[in-house]
Amino acid sequence: MSGLLEGRRGLIMGLANERSLAWAIARAAHREGAELAFSYGLPALEKRVQPLADQVDAAIVRLCDVQSDEDIERLFAEVEGAWGTLDFVVHAIAFANRDELKGPYLDTSREGFRLALDISAYSLVAVVRAAAPLMTGGGSILTLSYLGAERTLPHYNVMGVAKAALEASVRYLAADLGPQGIRVNGISAGPVRTLASAGIGGFRTVLDWYAENAPLRRATTQGEVGDAALLFLSDWGRGITGEVLYVDGGYHIVGVPPTVRED
Ligand code: NAD
């Protein structure tokens, strides 16, 4: 494979460090010739994000807290100023308070629910609304989900509800933007150790169970999520929209561990 994204320009949102799924997708897209821009969610992440962005000669590296409409507006104004148009956006952003990712879902607070749904689901709508006017020649939007959107998984709690909203948003946005040639899709990735997943109670147990029981009998890797993303970002996926594809070694077909200890 080479050159699948030659001449394409893409914004990757949600880079935190070298373990981020955003980074795996960025590396795959860079390898295939894409020109990239990045956004990150917290000022403290800049020192990690900038050196990674430099490795792929990023055109833009900008702080963008997706809770802020002004931040989103500024980011896309900068993209428009630099490039004029945009071919793809990767939305790799999620957040819930740690307290909400242990114990029963029943204990979810109103504020915890609001925060998780705002950052992890509504942000896709806000981002797509800002991106669409720049996708004058059509485009591709890709977000990241998890099995907890469809099944109850221990401790995933409000994040599962946020991912369900995110997956429904993928379908509604795909319906809205299809006539403009803009495709909206998701990848439901298997569990991968990252900053975000470290906050989920019992995650280590899920990872071990997964590696032993998923049909492919090994953990999902960042690299295989990055490579799968190319299907959606490139012309190979030109007929696909409104889809959420499992990239999880078949994990979703075999069920979940009966008990997960807090670790
Ligand atoms: P990560 O911690 O590397 O990325 C999460 C990103 O979200 C971080 O860069 C963080 O700064 C950003 N973020 C949080 N709040 C934000 C805000 N208010 N504004 C802007 N950005 C904000 O972890 P990751 O696992 O690579 O997560 C990327 C996506 O992949 C998430 O949507 C996550 O739910 C999803 N996902 C992860 C796994 C997994 O096991 N790691 C599995 C399936 C799906």
Q: Tell me the C-alpha distance between 116 and 177, whole Å.
A: 25
105 catalytic, yes or no? no
Residues 24-82: tens digit of each pLDDT: 999 999 999 999 999 999 999 999 999 999 999 998 999 999 999 999 999 999 999 99
Residue 57 is which amino acid?
D
146 catalytic, yes or no? yes
Contact 102, 94 (CB under 8 A): no
Residues 101-152: tens digit of each pLDDT: 999 999 999 999 999 999 999 999 999 999 999 999 999 999 999 999 999 9
* Whether residue 21 has its Cβ less than 6 Å from ligand 1: yes
Of ligand 1's listed atoms, the one at least distance from the Cα of 197 is 41
Which residue among the candidates 40, 156, 210, 246 is catalytic per the annotation?
A: 156
Instruction: Please give the distance, rounded to the nearest whole angstrom, from the Cα atom of residue 139 to the centre of ligand 1.
Output: 22
| SS3 state at 11 | strand
* Whether residue 195 has its Cβ less than 6 Å from ligand 1: yes
* Whether residue 194 has its Cβ less than 6 Å from ligand 1: yes
The values of phi and psi at residue 81, to 5°, are -60, -40
Report residue 58 as tokens. Answer: 């990023």
Mean pLDDT along residues 203-232: 93
